[in-house]
C-alpha cells in the first residue's frame, strides 16, 4: 500500500511540475504576462463536459458545499496537485530505522 501511495504522490508531483512549466511557457509566449491555469481550466482542457456535469451535480446534491468547491476549482492547478503530492510523499515516504 505504501509503495502505491508513493507512486501516486510521484505522479501528482510530476503533473504539478508539468503544469507549472506549461504556465511558464504560456507566460513567455504572451510577452511576460503572467498566466496561471486554474484547476477548472485544466479540467476543461481535458474534458469540457465533465466539469459542467460536476458543477451541476455539486449544485444539486451538495448546495452547502458549492461555494467551497467552486473556490477550490479556482486554485492554480499546479498548486493543488503539488501540495497533495508532497503531503502524500511525506506521509508515505521511506521510514528510517534499524535494519
More confident residue, 99 or 69: 69
Q: Name the more confident of 85 and 48.
A: 85
Each domain of the chain, given as residue ranges in start order, spans 1-36+77-94, 38-75
pLDDT, the chain, mean: 93
pLDDT score recorded for residue 99:
58
Residue 62 confidence (pLDDT) above 90 = yes
Residue that the C-alpha cell 510577452 belongs to: 31
* pLDDT > 80? residue 94: no
12: exposed, middle or buried (Cβ count in 10 Å: 0-12, 13-18, 19+): buried
Closest CA to 40 of 27, 25, 50: 50
96 pLDDT higher than 80: no
Per-residue model confidence (pLDDT) at position 1:
87
Amino acid at each position: 500500500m505504501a509503495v502505491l501511495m508513493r507512486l501516486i504522490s510521484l505522479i501528482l508531483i510530476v503533473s504539478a511540475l508539468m503544469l507549472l512549466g506549461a504556465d511558464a511557457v504560456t507566460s513567455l509566449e504572451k510577452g511576460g504576462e503572467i498566466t496561471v491555469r486554474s484547476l477548472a481550466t485544466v479540467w476543461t482542457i481535458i474534458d469540457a463536459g465533465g466539469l459542467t456535469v460536476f458543477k451541476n451535480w455539486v449544485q444539486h446534491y451538495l448546495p452547502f458545499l458549492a461555494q467551497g468547491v467552486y473556490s477550490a476549482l479556482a486554485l492554480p492547478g499546479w498548486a493543488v496537485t503539488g501540495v497533495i503530492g508532497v503531503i502524500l510523499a511525506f506521509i508515505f515516504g521511506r521510514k528510517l530505522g534499524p535494519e
